[in-house]
């Protein structure tokens, strides 16, 4: 089986172009602030068209950061917000000729830290968040009913490969 190493990218406008949107609370000023809180309003918008399912993904501790599968949704964006630790995401775009297949040549790995969030538009392929230092809970926002609409590729079965995230 082929192992494809993906170097980790920090979130930036340049590195994340074509994969969705991101926010970093450290890069913006609050809209309202008092001595006991700061409020950051409307940092990112997502149009779900339907009720939103607020969910939690718990990334289990791994010795290495391997991505074994990719999934996508064509009916909804997905928002991922790490709650209690750093996560690593493996993302690809869809093939231009067949939107129902991941474009493995576009694969990239990103680090998402607490205080950051990503919005993945429909058609961006992604692995569930990976964690290395400890199990991490990530808030996941998708359209209600999304798990029934997933398209999943198991990389070993479909392509005889795995992605390895390199820090």
CA atoms within a 13 Å half-sphere pointing along the CA-CB vector of 31: 5
Fold classified for 2-166: Jelly Rolls (2.60.120)
Confidence of residue 75 (pLDDT cuts 50, 70, 90): confident
Please check the confidence at residue 45 and state whether its pLDDT lies above 80. Answer: yes
Average pLDDT (11-35) is: 95
Please check the confidence at residue 62 and state whether its pLDDT lies above 80. Answer: no
Whole-number mean pLDDT of the chain? 93
Residue 4 to residue 26: CA distance in whole angstroms: 32
Position 64 scores a pLDDT of 75
Domain range summary for the chain, segments of one domain joined by +: 2-166
Position 61 scores a pLDDT of 78
User: How big, in percent rounded to 5, are the helix, strand and coil portions of the chain?
Assistant: 5, 50, 45
Position 4 scores a pLDDT of 93
Residue 100 to residue 7: CA distance in whole angstroms: 25
105-139, pLDDT tens digit by residue?
999 999 999 999 999 999 999 999 999 889 999 99
User: How is residue 99 written in tokens?
Assistant: 């939107």
Please check the confidence at residue 1 and state whether its pLDDT lies above 90. Answer: no
User: How is residue 110 written in tokens?
Assistant: 């990103």
% the chain with pLDDT above 70:
100
Position 146 scores a pLDDT of 86
Tell me the CA distances in angstroms from 39 to 27, 140, 154, one per residue in order. Answer: 14, 21, 41
């Amino acid at each position: 089986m082929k192992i494809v190493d993906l170097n980790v990218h920090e979130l930036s406008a340049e590195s994340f172009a074509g994969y969705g949107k991101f926010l970093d609370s450290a890069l913006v000023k609050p809209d309202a602030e008092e001595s006991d809180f700061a409020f950051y309003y409307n940092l990112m918008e997502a149009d779900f068209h339907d009720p939103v399912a607020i969910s939690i993904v718990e990334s289990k501790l791994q010795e290495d950061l391997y991505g074994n599968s990719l999934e996508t949704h064509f009916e909804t964006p997905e928002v991922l917000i790490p709650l209690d630790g750093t996560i690593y995401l493996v993302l690809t775009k869809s093939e231009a000729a067949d939107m129902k297949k991941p474009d493995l040549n576009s694969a990239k790995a990103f680090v998402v830290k607490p205080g950051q969030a990503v919005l993945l538009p429909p058609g961006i392929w992604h692995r569930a968040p990976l964690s290395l230092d400890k199990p991490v809970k990530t808030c996941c926002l998708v359209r209600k009913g999304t798990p029934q609409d997933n398209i999943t590729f198991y990389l070993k079965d479909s392509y005889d490969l795995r992605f390895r995230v390199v820090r």
